[in-house]
Amino acid sequence: MTIRIAIVDDKPQNRVSLREELSISNNLEVVFVAKNGIDFLETMKGIEEAKRPQVVLMDIEMPEMDGISTVMQGRVLFPEVYFLMLTIFDDEDKIFDAIRSGANGYLLKEEKASVIEDCIFQLIEVGGVPMSPSIARKAMNMLVGNRKTSVSDESNKNETDLSERELEVLNLLVNGYEYKVIAQKLFLSSHTVRKHIANIYAKLHVSSKAQAINLVHKKKWFEV
């Protein structure tokens, strides 16, 4: 099986060398090369669907239209095409932007032609998401970090599920103010303050002022 591909890169030497390296394989046919996103999209529109590339090797940093923007448009215009980022950038922002744009994989330009060819076949045959090892590690770290943040945020949300007034009362309470003083500062009655504190204890699952203060100190919710 011969897979049709396209190469999009703003540097002429990169386009030439990559085309030569991949053309050695009998399994790949380079349909065309493009110098930026606009050049790529215009060329694609002029090719009938049956002859369009199946996989596009896309650089990221290019003039006029970069790779991220091109993939976002290309996914809409040519949904049958796979977009494989091929770039020198391995920072998390670029990886995240590429994934968010709809890229099907992310490889570094330092990869050998044989590796790139294998990744192209992964896309076509099994629909994989090929990534260079260092990119895969960073992507995994990003996912793990986002999951931890999400769990932490949810935990904090549950622990501090207090109204703005209850937070004000709690803040004054842990800073040592008595009920009457809290009432005066917040222009409330002592009865209302006691009711707020009862609600605070119930929501925080504590039963005393000391336990509430310890929890606030532990979680560092306020400057005490």
pLDDT digits (tens, 9 = 90+) for 50-87: 999 999 999 999 999 999 999 999 999 999 999 999 98
> Which residues contact residue 189 at a Cβ distance below 8 angstroms, ignoring those fewer than 6 apart?
183
Interval 117-166: pLDDT, tens: 999 998 888 777 788 776 776 666 655 544 444 444 444 444 557 888 88
DSSP 188: -
Please state the pTM of the whole predicted model.
0.61
Amino acid identity at 172: L
Tell me if 212 sits within 8 A of 204, measured CB to CB. yes
E strands present in 66-212 = 82-87, 105-108
Domains and CATH numbers, the chain: 3-143 (3.40.50.2300), 160-219 (1.10.10.10)
